[in-house]
Amino acid sequence: METIRSATIAPPPKRQVAQPRMLPQQEPPWHVILLNDDHHTFRYVVEMLEDIFGHSVEVGFQMASEVHEAGRVIVATVHKELAELRQEQIHEYQPRQPYPDCKGQMKSVIERSE
């Protein structure tokens, strides 16, 4: 007599669907805004913008003109940590040469870009 064995066949493994990767959310950019005062010359402002931000003399002069006329100018738009660093650098800036007409350091603020 023949014996029939029953075999258990496993179903094929379920295909796993890859979960989409969540990318880290990017932080919104921040503006570094230079504020006007009556204590600094255009030469001082242009030199500071060149030293801290790497702006050309032409761009620095345009920004110096804008801050003089409008009272404020956006000098950079960067991530928050860098904006805070640049603000600190503006407040602590020491020019390459003394400017007798300039008193103290310039002021700036950072604002979230909308």
Asked whether residue 24 is domain-assigned, the answer is no
Site of tokens 């029939």: 4
Predicted local distance difference test score (pLDDT) of residue 27 = 81
Instruction: Supply the range of the domain harboring residue 95.
Output: 30-112
CA angle 32, 109, 55 (to 5 degrees): 30
Predicted local distance difference test score (pLDDT) of residue 8 = 67
Predicted local distance difference test score (pLDDT) of residue 114 = 78
Asked whether residue 2 is domain-assigned, the answer is no
Residue 73's CB: how many other CB atoms inside 10 A? 22
In order along its 114 residues, the chain shows pLDDT tens digits of 555 566 667 666 677 666 667 666 778 899 999 999 989 999 999 999 999 999 999 999 999 999 999 999 999 999 999 999 999 999 999 998 888 888 889 999 999 997
Site of tokens 């956006």: 74
CATH of the domain at 101: 3.30.1390.10
Asked whether residue 15 is domain-assigned, the answer is no
Provide the domain count of the chain.
Answer: 1
